């Protein structure tokens, strides 16, 4: 009977492993292991495995004999990895973290940015946090095992973030002070909360004790902000019993200094969390809190109003609407009063609100309608219907003029709302001839003759020394653009003039087709020729002076000279002759002229 082979493991064979690791590439070692494992019988493989550490043995065994995938498909991320390898990976990731922090603390490191040579350098906190976030994304799947097995370093993310931000702030010179603070991204926020939660669980802390720990850390660090969505997502995924404890604790502590500042601030994630809990646990308190914060965030009044109207409490609903409107107007009109029958709401808020807010404003107006309807104020219902519809039709001149002419509200109200719309249109484009055009269509006693007379008077009185900043310049540009569109002449034969002076991309507006339609109906005969004649005769004085230049960039000057050459060649040659004497030494000017193909 053959003698049973044994596999020995001594100091010399261990040294062979070190030598192989130093002498061969990773690919060569992989190939060597494949060859050796294929050469070993199942019995010898088993003997080899018995001499390994338990965790290593289990990992290798899983690799050599992987379980069959469920449903015939491999499960992503299910590859076996030893605890030692995970420990090594964890340590390596913290080394990456430390290198980022070390680099960020360098006065001349890559996180010090400077937009231009004459501008002061600044610390790029956003890029710094983004690079820490990249490391955190690799760490996140390892957090639980790292905490449970005590991987080093194990101080946790809260301490690591605090150390990192303090190191950067302390090492950089005062003139590079990080004034805006550090705002953590989503994964880094989640890692921080996860680690502190695990630590609190190990120490027997409940949900509110954990919340208090995070709040204390934020107050202590001061210049670090957590990601709001990640914060809310983490707390709302805690066990239900712990969420209840967090809510009860915040409720009992909301008048304490360290909590009140956060819970009364609508921009705080603690306030958002508290409102999330209160909405389902204490609806009345939730609505009271919303109404109390309307001055900070006017949309908070909408759920309150809706609730009161559902209860048919129209008086209190109207009061809540008043508070909500006051908050809305505070942001757009400096707190000035507004009533539906004296001015349109759209012009007041349109300069500030984004598209996603228009629906909220219309909802508020709809609630306003419901409240006054419930109180029997039928005239106000009609006025508010106009106010609400205007948000969808404001730039439709036909709809607006018809509404102001036929709406079933008093003449005084119709006139006030019309004037509000007319004034806004004229103001928006800084063109008073628009006011004349709208007025001539609205008032049948004025009509086309009145408009033509006003335009004629204005063109006669146009100044001989207009400037680019002159309001007349903006009015004339818009009128020229509209007349070109109406006549179909557009660019030809003045392509440069069209591109540089008229700048159609800046004049394209939602109501352009309506404005041009109404202008075409009332425009005086031959007006475009008169306007173009004015441009040709006065264009020379509009050409920017090379003495006024930004960063030695004369592109605009050359472009205007190209326009002048196109429109008034004689004036161009005269100005060019003057420039050759006055601005002879401005090399960049003449280079720009040459690039435009000018003499």
- Rounded CA-CA distance 220/521 in Å is 69
Q: What angle do CA 547, 550, 556 make, to 5 degrees?
A: 80
- From 223, 217, 129, 221, select the one nearest 177 (Cα to Cα): 223
The residues facing 123 across adjacent strands are 112
**DSSP for 11-31?**
HHHHHHHHHHHHHS-HHHHHH
Structure tokens at 587: 């090399």
E strand map for 170-219: 182-183
**Which regions in the chain score pLDDT beneath 50?**
1-11, 72-76, 352-355
- Rounded CA-CA distance 234/225 in Å is 15
The greatest distance separating any two alpha carbons of the chain, rounded to the nearest whole angstrom, comes to 126
pLDDT number for residue 463: 86
Counting other chains too, the contacts that 37-45 makes at CB distance below 8 Å and 24 or more residues apart are 37/64, 44/5, 44/7
- Rounded CA-CA distance 352/331 in Å is 9
pLDDT number for residue 57: 65
pLDDT number for residue 212: 96
Q: Where are the alpha helices (DSSP H) in 377-526?
A: 378-393, 397-406, 411-428, 432-442, 447-460, 471-487, 495-497, 512-522
CB-based burial of residue 526 (10 Å sphere; 0-12 exposed, 13-18 middle, 19+ buried)? exposed
Check if the beta carbon of residue 434 is closer than 8 Å to that of residue 425: yes
Backbone angles phi, psi at 586, to 5 degrees: -85, 85
What's the chain's Rg over C-alpha atoms?
A: 37
Check if the beta carbon of residue 317 is closer than 8 Å to that of residue 371: yes
CB-based burial of residue 154 (10 Å sphere; 0-12 exposed, 13-18 middle, 19+ buried)? middle
pLDDT in tens, 581-599: 999 999 999 999 999 999 7
The residues facing 183 across adjacent strands are 225
Torsion angle in degrees (nearest 10) through CA of 194, 198, 204, 206:
20
Neighbours of 367 (CB within 10 A): 23
Residue position matching structure tokens 């604790």: 249
CB-based burial of residue 304 (10 Å sphere; 0-12 exposed, 13-18 middle, 19+ buried)? buried
- Rounded CA-CA distance 573/579 in Å is 10
- Rounded CA-CA distance 358/332 in Å is 14
Within 8 A by CB and 6+ apart from 270, the residues are 215, 250, 259, 262, 263
- From 511, 508, 523, 347, select the one nearest 437 (Cα to Cα): 523
pLDDT number for residue 74: 47
pLDDT number for residue 247: 96
Check if the beta carbon of residue 341 is closer than 8 Å to that of residue 383: yes
Check if the beta carbon of residue 152 is closer than 8 Å to that of residue 92: no
Structure tokens at 2: 């053959």
Instruction: Kindly give the interhelix angle for 527-538 and 447-460, rounded to the nearest 10 degrees.
Output: 10
- Rounded CA-CA distance 307/210 in Å is 34
- Rounded CA-CA distance 293/277 in Å is 17
- Rounded CA-CA distance 328/417 in Å is 20
- Rounded CA-CA distance 266/275 in Å is 10
Threshold 0.85, pTM exceeds: no
Structure tokens at 452: 């033509």
- Rounded CA-CA distance 121/115 in Å is 8
- Rounded CA-CA distance 568/532 in Å is 11
pLDDT number for residue 1: 45
- From 417, 456, 416, 414, select the one nearest 433 (Cα to Cα): 456
- Rounded CA-CA distance 444/187 in Å is 65
| HSE-CB for 6 with a 13 A CA cutoff | 5
> What is the SS3 assignment for 231?
helix
pLDDT number for residue 49: 67
First-to-final CA distance of the chain: 107
Within 8 A by CB and 6+ apart from 527, the residues are 455, 459, 483
pLDDT number for residue 5: 47
SS (H, E, C) 300-342: HHHHHHHHHHHCCCHHHHHHHHHHHHHHHHHHHHCCCCCCCCC
């Amino acid at each position: 009977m053959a003698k049973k082979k044994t596999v020995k493991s001594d100091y010399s064979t261990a040294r062979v492993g070190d030598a192989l690791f130093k002498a061969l590439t990773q690919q060569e070692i992989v190939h060597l292991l494949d060859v050796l494992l294929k050469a070993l019988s199942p019995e010898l493989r088993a003997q080899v495995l018995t001499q390994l550490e338990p965790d290593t043995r289990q990992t290798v065994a899983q690799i050599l004999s992987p379980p069959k995938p469920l449903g015939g498909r491999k499960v992503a991320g299910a590859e076996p990895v030893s605890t030692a390898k995970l420990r090594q990976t964890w340590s390596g990731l913290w080394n990456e973290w430390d290198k980022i922090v070390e680099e960020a603390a360098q006065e001349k490191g890559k996180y010090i940015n400077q937009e231009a040579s004459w501008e002061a350098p600044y610390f790029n906190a956003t890029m710094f946090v983004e690079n820490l976030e990249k490391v955190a994304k690799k760490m996140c799947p390892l957090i639980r095992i790292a905490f449970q097995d005590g991987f080093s370093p194990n101080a946790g993310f809260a301490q690591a973030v605090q150390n990192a931000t303090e190191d950067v702030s302390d090492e950089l010179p005062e003139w590079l002070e990080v004034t805006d603070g550090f705002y953590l991204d989503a994964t880094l926020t989640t890692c921080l909360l996860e680690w502190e939660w695990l630590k609190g669980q190990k120490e027997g802390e409940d949900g509110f004790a954990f919340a208090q720990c995070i709040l204390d850390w934020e107050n202590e660090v001061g210049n670090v902000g957590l990601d709001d969505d990640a914060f809310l997502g983490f707390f709302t995924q805690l066990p239900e019993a712990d969420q209840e404890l967090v809510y009860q604790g915040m409720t009992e502590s909301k008048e304490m200094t360290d909590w009140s500042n956060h819970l009364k601030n609508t921009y705080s994630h603690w306030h958002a969390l508290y409102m999330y809990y209160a909405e389902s646990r204490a609806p009345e308190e939730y609505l009271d809190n919303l109404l109390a914060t309307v001055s900070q965030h006017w949309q908070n009044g909408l759920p309150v109003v809706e609730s009161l109207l559902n209860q048919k409490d129209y008086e209190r609903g109207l009061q809540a609407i008043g508070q909500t409107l006051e908050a809305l107007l505070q942001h757009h009109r400096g707190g000035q009063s507004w009533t539906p029958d004296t001015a349109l709401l759209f012009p007041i808020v349109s300069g500030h609100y984004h598209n996603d807010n228009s629906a909220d404003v219309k909802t508020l107006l709809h609630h306003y309608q419901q409240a006054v309807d419930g109180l029997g104020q039928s005239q106000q219902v009609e006025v508010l219907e106009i106010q609400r519809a205007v948000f969808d039709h404001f730039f439709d001149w036909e709809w607006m003029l018809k509404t102001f002419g036929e709406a079933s509200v008093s003449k005084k109200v119709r006139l006030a709302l019309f004037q509000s719309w007319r004034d806004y249109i004229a103001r928006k484009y800084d063109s008073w001839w628009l006011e004349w055009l709208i007025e001539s269509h609205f008032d049948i006693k004025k009509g086309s003759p009145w408009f033509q007379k006003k335009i004629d008077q204005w063109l006669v009185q146009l100044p001989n020394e207009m400037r680019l900043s002159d309001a007349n310049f903006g009015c004339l540009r818009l009128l020229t653009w509209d007349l070109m569109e109406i006549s179909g002449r557009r660019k030809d034969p003045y392509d440069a003039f069209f591109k540089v002076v008229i700048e159609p991309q800046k004049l394209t507006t939602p109501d352009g087709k309506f404005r041009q339609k109404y202008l075409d109906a009332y425009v005086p005969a031959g007006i475009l020729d008169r306007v173009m004649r004015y441009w040709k005769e006065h264009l020379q004085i509009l050409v920017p002076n090379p003495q006024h230049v930004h960063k030695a960039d004369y592109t605009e000057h050359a472009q205007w000279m190209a326009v002048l050459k196109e429109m008034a060649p004689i004036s161009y040659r005269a100005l060019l002759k003057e420039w050759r004497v006055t601005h002879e030494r401005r090399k960049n000017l003449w280079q720009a002229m040459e690039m435009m193909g000018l003499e």
